Chains A and B, each alone.
Chain A
């Protein structure tokens, strides 16, 4: 998967607990993205980063925060998980501002 590692691959947590998902890349790409994928909705952008410490909101950012302290790592945090955040989360990277995205294998998150 284009040098992208997501961890954990599966996570079950309880409502109200904090959760952090990690994306690690070995491609040295500038742009990194977090998406969620839900049936009937396709992929929706949560947050993205265009450099170390440079991040911005996507379409469905409420309830999520991100951090990027190194080029290779992009963290997604759910401060207080809710059942509506049960989803499959994908990290993606891109070399430039063009539209070619390379995805990780995903994290299946279940919030009970």
Chain B
């Protein structure tokens, strides 16, 4: 079993929809939770960064962490075609970037 599980999709939604992307994990020591967005033929870019449990909002994006369930989510409101990308969850115990574990990524398509 992988430490971090993420549904690869693809997930296809109409423009304006609310998108929910999720990851589950098995290591209860994870404290830092990240979401990266990766456009085709580009490197991942950090989208959201949260510590411990709770919610964090940034514009149309909300990251949610439920440590009791070992479950994290990324919500995208009013989705746009420009949101079409692969979304990678990542998490770490807090010992450094060299211990970051990535999910396999979910491909999202937002149709105009």
A interface residues, Cβ below 8 angstroms from B: 1, 4, 31, 33, 39-45, 48, 50, 56, 58, 90, 92, 94, 97-106
Is the pair B42, A102 in contact by a Cβ cutoff of 8 Å? no
Q: Which of B43, B46, B49 has the most CB of A within 10 A?
A: B43
Known A-B contacts A41-B104, A42-B103, A42-B105; the reply to A103 vs B45 at CB < 8 A is: yes
- Which listed residue, A31, A39, A41, A90, touches B44 by the CB 8 Å rule? A90
> How far, in angstroms, from A35 to B96 measured CA to CA in the complex?
15
B97–chain A nearest beta-carbon distance, Å? 4
B interface residues, Cβ below 8 angstroms from A: 4, 6, 8, 32, 34, 36, 41-46, 49, 88, 90, 92, 94-98, 100, 102-105
Q: Contacts of A31 on B, CB cut-off 8 Å?
A: 96-98
- Which listed residue, B8, B42, B49, B100, touches A106 by the CB 8 Å rule? B42
Is the pair A102, B95 in contact by a Cβ cutoff of 8 Å? no
Nearest chain B residue, comparing its CB with the CB of A90: B43
- Which listed residue, A58, A99, A106, touches B32 by the CB 8 Å rule? A99
Q: Contacts of A58 on B, CB cut-off 8 Å?
A: 98
Nearest chain A residue, comparing its CB with the CB of B97: A94
Is the pair B43, A104 in contact by a Cβ cutoff of 8 Å? yes
**13 further contact pairs, Cβ within 8 A, besides A41-B104, A99-B49:** A39-B104, A42-B6, A43-B90, A48-B97, A48-B98, A50-B98, A56-B98, A98-B97, A99-B94, A100-B34, A100-B49, A101-B97, A104-B43
Nearest chain A residue, comparing its CB with the CB of B103: A42
Is the pair B8, A101 in contact by a Cβ cutoff of 8 Å? no
Is the pair B43, A103 in contact by a Cβ cutoff of 8 Å? yes
Is the pair B104, A42 in contact by a Cβ cutoff of 8 Å? yes
What are 17 A-B interface contacts by the 8 Å CB criterion?
A4-B43, A33-B98, A39-B104, A42-B102, A42-B103, A43-B44, A43-B102, A90-B43, A97-B95, A98-B97, A99-B32, A99-B34, A99-B49, A99-B90, A99-B100, A100-B97, A102-B45
Q: Contacts of B94 on A, CB cut-off 8 Å?
A: 99
> How far, in angstroms, from A101 to B91 measured CA to CA in the complex?
12
> How far, in angstroms, from A105 to B97 measured CA to CA in the complex?
19
